[in-house]
Amino acid sequence: VILFDLDWNPQNDKQAIARAHRFGQQNEVRVFRLLTKSGVEQHMEKRCREKLDLEKKIMGAGMFCPSASQEHRLDMLRSLLGLSTDAAKAASEQDVKEALTSPAELNRLLARSPEELAAFTEIDEELFKDAGSELTSAEDTPTLLVNCGRLMRQDEVPDGFCIGEESDDDDTW
Has residue 166 got a pLDDT over 90? Answer: no
User: How many percent of the chain have pLDDT more than 90?
Assistant: 3
**Confidence at 168, pLDDT banded by 50, 70, 90:** very low
Rounded Cα gap, residues 41 and 46, in angstroms: 8
**Confidence at 30, pLDDT banded by 50, 70, 90:** confident
Closest C-alpha to 173, from 71, 80, 100: 71
- Considering 79-88, 95-104, 116-125, 154-163, the range whose residues carry the highest mean pLDDT is 116-125
- Considering 23-37, 78-92, 151-165, the range whose residues carry the highest mean pLDDT is 23-37
Per-residue pLDDT tens digits for 43-77? 888 888 888 888 877 776 655 666 667 777 777 76
Predicted pLDDT of residue 75: 74
- Residue 10 φ/ψ, nearest 5 degrees: -65, -15
Has residue 91 got a pLDDT over 50? Answer: yes
Query: Which segment of 112-116, 120-124, 165-169 scores lowest on mean pLDDT?
Result: 165-169
**Confidence at 115, pLDDT banded by 50, 70, 90:** very high
